[in-house]
C-alpha cells in the first residue's frame, strides 16, 4: 500500500474544512494516530478510524494514547508552492508495532481525515520512544504541498 490523500481532504481544502493557519486566525488542531494495519483506509475514507477493530494500535499496556497525539503544526509557508509541515512526533516509553499512521483534524467534532501514511513495513518500539520524523519543511519536501511542480 502507499500513502493516501483522501478525496474528502482535497475538496475539504477548497471548502475551508481544514485550517492550517497558526497565526492566531482560528487554525485547527491536528492529531496523528498509529495503526497496525492501514488496510481499512482508502481514497474514499473521510474520517479517522478509531479503535483496534479498525487497526489502531491497542492502548492497553502499551502507553500509546488511544486516538494518538496532537501534532505541532509548523504553519503555512511558501510562495509558488505553498506547504504545511509538522514537528517530529514522539510517543515516549511505548511498546508497540505500527505499520502506518493517520493524520486527522481533531477540532470541530468531525475527525476529518487529512493523510494516511504507510511506513512501508512494521516499525517497532519496545519500552522506548516511537518517533515519526516528518520531512523538511520546505516547498520540495514538506508533508503537504500545493504548487505547480
pLDDT interval class at 1 (50, 70, 90)? low
Q: What is the mean pLDDT of residues 82-89?
A: 96
Indicate yes or no: pTM above 0.85.
Answer: yes
18 alpha carbon, distance to own chain's centre: 13
Could you tell me the strand order of the sheet in which 30-35 lies?
69-70, 30-35, 89-105, 113-132
Burial 83-94 (b: 16+ CB within 10 A, else e): bbbbeebebeeb
pLDDT of residue 114: 97
- Residue listed under C-alpha cell 504507510: 118
Closest CA to 96 of 58, 134, 47, 132: 58
Residue 148 confidence (pLDDT): 73
Give the distance from CA 109 to its chain's centroid.
17
Give 3: exposed, middle or buried? Use CB within 10 Å, 0-12, 13-18, 19+. Answer: middle
pLDDT band at 47 (very low <50, low <70, confident <90, very high): very high
Q: Work out the pLDDT band at 136, boundaries 50, 70, 90.
A: very high
Amino acid at each position: 500500500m502507499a500513502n493516501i490523500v483522501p478525496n474528502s481532504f482535497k475538496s475539504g481544502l477548497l471548502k475551508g474544512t481544514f485550517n492550517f493557519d497558526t497565526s492566531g486566525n482560528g487554525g485547527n488542531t491536528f492529531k496523528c494516530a498509529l495503526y497496525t494495519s492501514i488496510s481499512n483506509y482508502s481514497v474514499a475514507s473521510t474520517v479517522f478510524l478509531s479503535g483496534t477493530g479498525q487497526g489502531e494500535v491497542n492502548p492497553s499496556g502499551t502507553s500509546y494514547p488511544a486516538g494518538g497525539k496532537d501534532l505541532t503544526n509548523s504553519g503555512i509557508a511558501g510562495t509558488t508552492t505553498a506547504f504545511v509541515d509538522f514537528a517530529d512526533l514522539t510517543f515516549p516509553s511505548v511498546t508497540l508495532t505500527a505499520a502506518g499512521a493517520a493524520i486527522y483534524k481533531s477540532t470541530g467534532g468531525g475527525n476529518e481525515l487529512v493523510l494516511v501514511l504507510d511506513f512501508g513495513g512494521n516499525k517497532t518500539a519496545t519500552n522506548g520512544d516511537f518517533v515519526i520524523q516528518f520531512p523538511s519543511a520546505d516547498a520540495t519536501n514538506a508533508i503537504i504541498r500545493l504548487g505547480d511542480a
